[in-house]
Amino acid sequence: MRLRKVKGAEEIVQNSDYVIKEPIMNKGRYKELFGNNNPIHLEIGVGKGKFIVEKALNCPDINFVGIEKYDSVLIRALEKVKDVKIPNLLFINDDASNVDAFFDREIDTLYLNFSDPWPKNRHEKRRLTSEKFLNKYELIFKKKPHIIMKTDNRKFFEYSLKSLVDKEYKIEKISLDLHEDNYPDNIMTEYEEKFGSKGSVIYMVEVIKE
């Protein structure tokens, strides 16, 4: 994502009730933060937040946490919710490389939507489906690790499938053309709308680890 610094973004993010200010201090406290014991779904790299906001509105019995590392991007998600109170939605403005410091076996499902593919080999460790990240995710899931990813990048999709299967994830669902296949409940992300409308094929996989 090309990033334009937005003046005042840091302050807006810091003052938002939707944003967890000290995520490390809140590790293990999500039951208290949400005020219930509902399942928690996490999205890493929420971007402008369309997916997670719609998910939270559609599924009031699931709690949603979205991580986004750039405040200039996260404010676009916060703008979407500034006039509504969505009690089952929170955000973290930080790098997901710290994800295992934020959650203590509290997550039920992880969404990775149109993650940056980092195509150069020397950047492999930055990919959100690299072994490094998959090892961290193992520490955040409550029970069976459950990941749903979507991307328009074929090479990144193939890399991710191999990485997940190498870690003994089992494929529950897979689509090599999500918009052609019948997924009526699919909620589109900003990237998905943009690239889907230009004719890009969208890949999706849902995996679980016993």
Just list the catalytic residues: 116
Site string (92-131) toward ligand SAM, x via CB under 6 A: ---xxx---------------xxxx---------------
Task: Find the helix or strand (DSSP H, E) in which 42 lies.
Answer: strand 40-44
- Report, in angstroms and rounded to the nearest whole number, the Rg of the chain calculated over CA atoms: 16
Written as six digits, the tokens of 95 are: 């790098």
State the Cα–Cα distance between residues 125 and 159, nearest whole angstrom.
12
Q: Tell me how far, at minimum, the Cβ of 35 lies from ligand SAM, in Å.
A: 26
Tokens 């939507």, residue? Answer: 113
- The answer to whether 68 contacts ligand SAM (rule: CB under 6 A) is yes
Stretch that binds ligand SAM, among 80-88, 141-149, 175-183, 186-194 (CB under 6 A): 186-194
Site for ligand SAM in 8-67 (CB under 6 A): 44-47, 67
Q: Are strands 109-113 and 170-175 parallel, antiparallel or unpaired?
A: unpaired
191 contacts ligand SAM (rule: CB under 6 A): yes
Q: Which is nearer to ligand SAM, 34 or 118 (CB)?
A: 118
CA-based nearest residue to 192, from 20, 35, 83, 48: 48
Out of 40, 189, 204, 207, name the contact with ligand SAM by CB under 6 A: 189
The sheet with strand 89-92 has its strands ordered as 89-92, 63-67, 40-44, 109-113, 146-151, 203-208, 170-175
Smallest gap from Cβ 184 to ligand SAM, in A, equals: 19
- Closest separation in Å from C-beta 185 to ligand SAM: 17
Q: How far is the CB of 69 from ligand SAM (least distance, A)?
A: 4
- The pair phi, psi for residue 32, each rounded to 5°, is -70, -45
- DSSP string covering 97-140, please? GGHHHH-SS-BSEEEEES-----SGGGGGGSTTSHHHHHHHTTT
User: Least distance (Å) from ligand SAM to the CB of residue 210?
Assistant: 27
Binding site for ligand SAM (CB under 6 A): 1, 44-47, 67-70, 73, 95-97, 113-116, 189-192
